[in-house]
């Protein structure tokens, strides 16, 4: 299926950009700012899973940001939608087949680290997979990558330095932390958040980790950026998807500035 989708996309365009960004909740303004924009609806690409969540679009966009040609995946599917881990990483694998080198994964997350605040952007330095799922479970396709991929440096060290330099240059505040991935869709309980803090998590979210694993499996380097859309359960009065979307939208300008400064500094 991924090969069919990649062949379909290749028949529409021979050369694909080597950098892609997956946009999380409420990041439509990033797309609007792209020049030379071209859009393909996920529903038109053979086998590509279409998201069902409000605030998550559903299209593959190409265009220029900071003078660089990029691919943007606007909208993703999640395990909590009842999708399989393979469906969750479908898009990342297709782009890797098209020659992707660098993947920037963004997401909305709950802040566990007490030094965070809603609206803060955080550089993901590592992750803890608590989703009870892994996209590599099952027979390994040796033509994609190894059976047992190393995850010692899942988030590329050079890209992390680039993101920090971009933050310093633009004046956008950037925290750092470990992202714990939960299956969702219910938010965590306060007890679960205390547990997550104890095991070393700074952020809680419901995405990104399967995509990072699939990308690393295929040798694509990954930069992970979270928007803290709320403090995690027990640290504020209550949680809602409405707040996640509203804070995500409010921080979208900072995220765009940071990503553009990152794009100016990477070469592939
Ligand atoms: N927990 C899990 N996922 C999230 C949260 C949260 O608090 N906020 C946004 N995504």
Tell me: the pLDDT tens digits for 6-30? 999 999 999 999 999 999 766 778 8
pLDDT of 55 strictly over 60: no
CA 267 to ligand 1 centroid distance, Å = 32
Q: Could you tell me if residue 245 is inside a domain?
A: yes
Range of the domain at 10: 2-263
| Minimum CA distance residue for ligand 1 atom 7 | 110
Give the position, in ligand 1's atom list, of the atom nearest the Cα of 230.
Answer: 8
Any domain includes 153: yes
CATH number, domain containing residue 43? 3.40.50.1580
- For residue 244, being part of any structural domain is answered with yes
State the pTM of this model: 0.96
Within a domain: 257: yes
- Statement: residue 211 has pLDDT above 80: yes
- DSSP labels for 166-222? HHHHHT--EEEEEEEE---SSPPPHHHHHHHHHTT-SEEESSSHHHHHHHHHTT-EE
pLDDT attached to residue 250: 82
Judge whether 16 lies within some domain. yes
Question: Which sign, positive or negative, has the C-alpha torsion 68, 73, 74, 79?
Answer: negative
Within a domain: residue 30? yes
Q: Tell me: the pLDDT tens digits for 84-107?
A: 999 999 999 999 999 999 999 999
Taking only the tens place, the pLDDT of each residue in 77-88 is: 999 999 999 999
Instruction: Please tell me the total count of domains within the chain.
Output: 1
For residues 45 and 49, what is the distance between their CA atoms, to the nearest angstrom?
9
Does residue 268 form part of some domain?
no
Q: For the segment 61-75, what is each residue's pLDDT rounded down to a tens digit?
A: 999 999 899 999 998
pLDDT confidence band for 56 (50 / 70 / 90): low
pLDDT tens for each residue of 114-166: 999 999 999 999 999 999 999 999 999 999 999 999 999 999 999 999 999 99
pLDDT confidence of residue 117: 96
Contact 220, 99 (CB under 8 A): no
Q: What is the pLDDT of residue 54?
A: 62
Q: Mean pLDDT, to the nearest integer, of 179-204?
A: 98
User: Within 10 Å of residue 112's Cβ, how many Cβ atoms?
Assistant: 26
Active-site annotation, residues = 25, 56, 78, 80-81, 108, 206-207, 230, 241
Ligand 1 pocket by C-beta < 6 Å: which residues? Answer: 108-110, 187-188, 204-206, 229-230, 232, 239, 244
For residue 235, what pLDDT is reported?
A: 93
pLDDT at 246: 87
């Amino acid at each position: 299926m991924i090969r069919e989708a990649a062949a379909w996309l290749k028949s529409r365009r021979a050369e694909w950009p080597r950098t892609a960004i997956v946009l999380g909740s409420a990041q439509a303004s990033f797309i609007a700012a792209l020049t030379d924009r071209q859009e393909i609806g996920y529903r038109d690409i053979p086998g590509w899973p279409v998201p069902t969540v409000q605030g998550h679009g559903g299209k593959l966009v190409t265009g220029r940001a900071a003078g660089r040609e990029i691919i943007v995946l606007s909208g993703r599917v999640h395990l909590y939608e009842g999708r399989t881990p393979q469906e969750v990483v479908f898009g990342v694998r297709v782009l890797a087949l098209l020659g992707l080198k660098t993947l920037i994964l963004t997401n909305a997350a709950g802040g566990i680290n007490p030094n965070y605040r809603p609206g803060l952007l955080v550089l993901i330095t590592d992750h803890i997979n608590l989703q009870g799922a892994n996209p590599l479970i099952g027979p390994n396709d040796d033509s994609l990558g190894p059976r047992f991929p190393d995850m010692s440096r899942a988030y590329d060290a050079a890209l992390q330095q680039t993101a920090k330099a971009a933050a310093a240059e633009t004046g956008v505040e950037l925290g750092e932390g470990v992202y714990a991935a939960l299956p969702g869709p219910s938010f965590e309980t306060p007890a679960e958040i205390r547990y997550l803090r104890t095991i070393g998590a700074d952020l809680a979210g419901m995405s990104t980790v399967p995509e990072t694993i699939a990308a690393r499996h295929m040798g694509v380097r990954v930069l992970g950026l979270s928007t803290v859309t709320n403090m995690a359960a027990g640290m504020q009065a209550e949680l809602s998807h409405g707040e996640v979307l509203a804070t995500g939208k409010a921080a979208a300008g900072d995220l765009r500035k940071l990503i553009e400064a990152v794009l100016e500094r990477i070469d592939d």
